[in-house]
Chains A and B, each alone.
Chain A
């Protein structure tokens, strides 16, 4: 989900991505066969990632074999061994834990099958054993959210409340760091309260209720930042129940871009969301294609784009239509 190691990063611009996609597809006579060891389907986002991976493969004319590990590392190791035995062209791995990959990834290397990590990183000691890791930068996600708020409020004074993710989760810490650093540069913006909502809707709602009570019925609050959309959807409900208008009385910005957040933005109940793309496989297919056809070694870390969607966008309905059938 995140990448704590500050590696040299390459942000793939959408146009460059599309161009190299075409290039890679043209360079290959026939489609690649890729084995994808997925963690499971514990969250909507992960289900969407699996769906998008299948769509990407279909688009490129590649074949993807998906093994759902049901949250178990041993199932992932077994799946990787089976992929090696089948002689696939590449292996995508979304690792359930960071440790314990040395043995099986060495076997993949011995069989000359490149491994690409998706959305999570592994033990740095095993860095030579994979081709590249495609992950988002969760610090950057927070920064994009902070940047939007800074630009939106301009020079006006603004008190912000922050609903944090699960305590100890690195994604939460990173999204906080990115956002806080961005708004701290502005003397007119102050983070007045910050509390954990555990990444859930119900907790997000409760935390927002307590913020509203503590801040003069919400009159002192100018904006809410939540570390994920689910907590924000809970917070929106709390604001409505308190007779406030989310999206105009209080600005909202959160991270993930789940379909329900687009519904909220279309209804003018929310202002902005930063996308954690479920399309980790897209750049991975591009990197694998280039590596297989031309021997191009990609950088060790491919950072996915953190796109900002706001209620001012004209294409909210289109994005929602694309997203709603992905399994979120």
Chain B
């Protein structure tokens, strides 16, 4: 019960926040706003799924925002300029992003370098590569993009579940299965609990670490595809700082930064809370949009303090032990 409390609190905060906004603004409590919230944060959601795996395993991945930027530029050039079929370009970029993540995971594992440093270097590398490809914003202009963007499930009240929304929901569903119902998932929790004892328990630490970062890279590439669909263009500056938004969503969602504890459902609510803050500020229209960062910061701090109070020390180990068992 103890370990579920942060997620429950996060969910209550979101529901209260949404209800408060609904009472405050006449057009807020509508399916349209809910649909927008999901569509506008789809790329962040996909990225945050990968980040949840990484953080639960006790690591961090700072490269994902840059991988998103690289992906959008890569796709715009491959599809828009070179005429490569979009689906082939998607596969290519996912392979590239997954391999990039795996390479970072291997460096972290075999050179015993801190994930922070390796993925920071990865961030510079990916961002630099996207600038090398192009500094201009490039339109994609493929018929498949128009088809996918035009697709939407209409909800009563003007709301729409767009293709990228459904994709994000599918990624969350797949992620939940992988994290909570497979052996790989329990290895991820175990790694975050304690690296040394997991090795003793016979868990394949190296393989799991590499797979975790490969997954994060792959999902960063997928979030780049989502972003590319979202704007139908590629721009080397897109996704700057998004890795931090993803980390914030994961932590607000109840995952411990030190690893071992966390859920994907919490991350999903964390993403929605970040989107909700931004939507509130736009609806208000007089607040500086930098308040979004301040409120996110305050929430982060509150949640970390809350978890600290909750855990008191024994809580982390018991959860990891349960997962490994």
B208 contacts the other chain (CB 8 A):
no
Chain A residue, CB-CB nearest to B135: A168
Q: Are A74 and B231 touching (Cβ within 8 A)? A: yes
Q: Which of these, A66, A81, A103, contacts B232 with CB under 8 Å? A: A103
Given the interface pairs A70-B290, A72-B240, A75-B289, the reply to whether A82 lies near B283 with Cβ below 8 Å is yes
A127 CB to nearest B CB, Å: 14
Which parts of A59-73 form the interface with B (CB within 8 Å)? 63-73
Q: By the criterion of a CB under 8 Å from any partner CB, how many residues of chain B are at the interface?
A: 36
Residues of B within 8 A of A103 (CB): 149, 230-232
Contacts of B39 in A (CB 8 A): 81
Q: Mark B128-155, 1 if CB is under 8 A from A, else 0.
A: 0000000001110100000001000000
* Chain B nearest Cβ from A129, distance in angstroms: 13
- Given A67-B285, A68-B289, A70-B290, are A86 and B231 also a contact pair (CB < 8 Å)? no
Binary per-residue interface labels of chain A (62-105) against chain B in the complex, 1 for a CB within 8 Å, 0 otherwise: 01111111111111011101111111000000000111101100
Report whether A99 and B138 are in contact in the complex, using a CB–CB cutoff of 8 Å: yes
Task: State A254–B294 Cα separation when bound (angstroms).
Answer: 40
Q: Give per-residue flags for B97-137: 1 if the beta carbon is below 8 A from chain A beta carbons, else 0.
A: 00000000000000000000000000000000000000001
Contact B32 A78 (CB under 8 A): no
Tell me the smallest distance from the CB of B136 to a CB of chain A, in Å.
Answer: 9
B36 is an interface residue with CB less than 8 A from chain A: yes
Q: How far is the CA of A67 from the CA of B279 in the complex (A)?
A: 10
CB contacts (< 8 Å) of A97 on chain B: these are 137, 233, 235
CB nearest to B43 among chain A residues: A74
| B281 contacts A67, C-beta separation under 8 Å | yes
Q: Is the CB of B289 within 8 A of A123?
A: no
Say yes or no for B25: interface residue by CB 8 A criterion: yes
| A81 with B40: CB separation less than 8 A | yes
Chain A residues near B207 (CB, 8 Å)? none
Interface digits, B1-42 against A, CB 8 Å rule (1 contact, 0 not)?
A: 000000000000000000000000101101011001001100
Let me know if B278 is at the binding interface, CB within 8 A.
Answer: yes
Contact of B284 among A65, A68, A98, A123 (CB under 8 A): A65
C-alpha spacing A231/B135, complex, angstroms: 25
The answer for the CA separation of A251 and B204 in the assembled complex, in Å, is 76
Task: Assess whether A35 is interfacial by the CB under 8 Å rule.
Answer: yes
Known: A69-B289, A97-B233, A103-B230. A77 touches B40 (CB 8 A): yes
A residues in contact with B279, CB < 8 Å = 78, 82
What is the CA–CA distance of A189 and B275 in the complex, to the nearest angstrom? 58
Residue among B33, B43, B139 having the largest count of chain A Cβ atoms under 10 Å: B139
Give residues 257-307 of B contacting A (CB, 8 Å). 275, 278-279, 281-286, 288-290
Do residues A74 and B230 form an inter-chain contact, with CB atoms below 8 A?
A: yes
Shortest distance in angstroms between B191's beta carbon and chain A's nearest beta carbon? 32
Query: Does B282 lie within 8 Å of A100, measured CB to CB?
Result: no
Q: Given the complex of chains A and B, what is the CA–CA distance between A79 and B235 in angstroms? A: 19
Residues of the B chain whose Cβ atoms lie less than 8 Å from the Cβ of A75: 278, 289
In the complex, what's the smallest C-beta–C-beta distance from B240 to chain A, in angstroms? 7
Q: How far does the Cβ of A162 sit from chain B's closest Cβ, in whole Å? A: 26
Give the residue of A64, A77, A82, A123 whose beta carbon is less than 8 angstroms from that of B230.
Answer: A77
Q: Identify the interface centre among A67, A84, A123, A125: most chain B CB within 10 Å of its CB.
A: A67
Residues in A neighbouring B275, C-beta threshold 8 A = 78
Report yes or no: B282 in contact with A79, Cβ–Cβ below 8 A: yes
Which of A82, A98, A103 counts the most chain B CB atoms within 10 A? A82
Residue of B with least CB distance to A80? B282
Nearest CB in chain B: distance from A317 CB, A: 32
- A86 near B288 (CB under 8 angstroms)? no
Bound state CA distance, A103 and B283, in angstroms?
A: 21
Which of B25, B139, B235, B240 is close to A123, meaning CB atoms less than 8 Å apart?
Answer: B139
Residues of B within 8 A of A74 (CB): 40, 43, 227, 230-231, 238
Do A86 and B40 contact each other (CB < 8 Å), given the known contacts A74-B230, A97-B233, A99-B231? no
Residues of A within 8 A of B286 (CB): 65-66
B275 closest partner in A (C-beta) = A78
Residues B22-81 near A (CB distance < 8 A): 25, 27-28, 30, 32-33, 36, 39-40, 43
Give chain B nearest CB distance to A321 CB in angstroms. 26
B240 partner residues in chain A, CB cutoff 8 A: 72
A64: which B residues are within 8 A, CB to CB?
285
Contacts A72-B240, A85-B27, A85-B30: A66 and B139 contacting too (C-beta < 8 A)?
Answer: no
Residues of A within 8 Å of B139, CB to CB, are 99-100, 123, 125
CB 8 Å contact bits of A206-228 with B (1 = contact, 0 = none): 00000000000000000000000
Instruction: Give the 4 A-B CB pairs with smallest separation, nearest first.
Output: A65-B285, A100-B231, A99-B233, A100-B233
A interface list, Cβ under 8 A from B: 35, 63-75, 77-79, 81-87, 97-100, 102-103, 123, 125
What are 14 A-B interface contacts by the 8 Å CB criterion? A35-B285, A65-B284, A65-B286, A67-B285, A68-B289, A70-B289, A71-B237, A73-B238, A75-B289, A81-B36, A81-B39, A99-B137, A99-B232, A100-B235
Where the two chains meet, the residues of B that have a C-beta atom closer than 8 Å to any C-beta of A are 25, 27-28, 30, 32-33, 36, 39-40, 43, 137-139, 141, 149, 227, 230-233, 235, 237-238, 240, 275, 278-279, 281-286, 288-290
Excluding A67-B281, A77-B231, A99-B235, 14 further A-B contacts by CB distance (< 8 Å) are A65-B282, A65-B286, A68-B289, A68-B290, A71-B237, A75-B289, A78-B36, A78-B40, A78-B279, A79-B282, A85-B33, A86-B27, A86-B283, A87-B27
